[in-house]
Amino acid sequence: MPVKTVLRAQLFDKFFTLQDQVIQRLRLSGGSLWVPSLADNALMADGSGGVAIDGQVGYVRDLASGTHQTQATTANKPLLRRGVVTGGVSAATGQLWWEFDGVNDTLASPISPPSNELALIGSGFFNTQVTATHQALASKRNTTAEGILYKTPAGGLETWSSNAGGAWRGVPVGSLLAANTPFVLSSIGALASQTGRLNGGSNTAVSAGRAGVATPIRIGSIEGSAFYWGGGIYGLIAVAAAPSASDLALYEKYLASLSGVALL
């Protein structure tokens, strides 16, 4: 690699945070980024008022584009948490995350993304609140095409998509995880195939499928279904074009830094 290229990359890493690098790449590719942030407190309640730690979240700004996530119904709003929660109260320090109750909490974009999303990369952990069904950390859906980051009833992690005829294609991406174990899960879709990755590991399965089209993305559920997420979510990235290997590694590294996951 030319010396100038190496120096340029080193300067970029020095003066721009990991989040800055992710946002820049997503803006160039038409992607979205949603993460808990105290800097966005003025926007995280309903778009006008702030929300405190342990408070309800009804509005989350998309840091890379304008596809903000909202929830107007009080009973369906997740909570903003920090660090370890004891007795319903967050720790004074630690990583920020959203707590979804597994019953009806969800966030959704009121408008469709600017173009088709071909990848979802999310980080979170599940608990034991819901065990009878699948749970969706995030989803993109219309009537014929869908992409989902899933937890199975037994505690496995999967990415799913449907093909043009509506038949489901499952992509198992790892062994069973214990409750409250943070992870980074990636679903890389394409018109002919979909690949799942767990914690930055090598691709473990490829399945025929179809990527979601430009319909709203939901965090913590699936449109028209239950499958509510029971546990925490550290952040979600949606990419409008299948990411390069280097970009995918950057996105996974960033989400891992939020959740403390050691990538493979």
Ranges 53-62, 151-160, 213-222, 224-233: which has the least confidence: 213-222
Ranges 51-65, 161-175, 185-199: which has the least confidence: 161-175
Mean pLDDT (whole number) for 85-101: 94
Q: Which comes out higher in pLDDT, residue 147 or 72?
A: 72
Pull the structure tokens for residue 62: 């998309």
Ranges 73-77, 207-211, 248-252: which has the least confidence: 207-211
d(CA 47, CA 44): 6
pLDDT for position 50: 67
> Quick check: is 7 in a domain?
no
Mean pLDDT (whole number) for 203-210: 67
Match 């608990």 to its residue by tokens: 127
Cβ–Cβ < 8 Å for 176, 157: no
Mean pLDDT (whole number) for 182-210: 79
Q: What is the pLDDT of residues 112-146, one digit of tens each?
A: 665 566 789 999 999 976 676 789 999 886 555 56
Cβ–Cβ < 8 Å for 213, 142: yes
Domain that holds residue 147: 18-33+107-259
d(CA 134, CA 168): 14
pLDDT for position 259: 96
Query: Which DSSP state fits 186?
Result: E
Pull the structure tokens for residue 54: 């342990």
Match 């799942």 to its residue by tokens: 196
Sort 225 into a burial class: Cβ within 10 Å, 0-12 / 13-18 / 19+.
Answer: middle
> Quick check: is 28 in a domain?
yes
Q: Does residue 213 surpass a pLDDT of 70? A: no
d(CA 63, CA 158): 26
Percent of the chain topping pLDDT 90: 41
Confidence of residue 209 (pLDDT cuts 50, 70, 90): low
Match 């043009």 to its residue by tokens: 164
> Quick check: is 209 in a domain?
yes
Q: Does residue 6 surpass a pLDDT of 50? A: no
> Quick check: is 59 in a domain?
no
Q: Does residue 218 surpass a pLDDT of 60? A: yes
Mean pLDDT (whole number) for 58-67: 86
> Quick check: is 6 in a domain?
no
Confidence of residue 162 (pLDDT cuts 50, 70, 90): low
Average of per-residue pLDDT values in the chain: 81
Cβ–Cβ < 8 Å for 168, 150: no
> Quick check: is 29 in a domain?
yes
Domain of 118, CATH number, reads 2.60.120.200
Q: pTM for the whole thing?
A: 0.89
d(CA 261, CA 92): 21
Cβ–Cβ < 8 Å for 45, 70: no
Q: Does residue 233 surpass a pLDDT of 70? A: yes
> Quick check: is 57 in a domain?
no
d(CA 147, CA 156): 17
In 3D space, the residue among 151, 198, 184 whose CA is nearest the CA of residue 261 turns out to be: 184
d(CA 132, CA 174): 20
Q: Does residue 168 surpass a pLDDT of 80? A: no
> Quick check: is 123 in a domain?
yes
- Please tell me the total count of domains within the chain: 1
Confidence of residue 239 (pLDDT cuts 50, 70, 90): confident
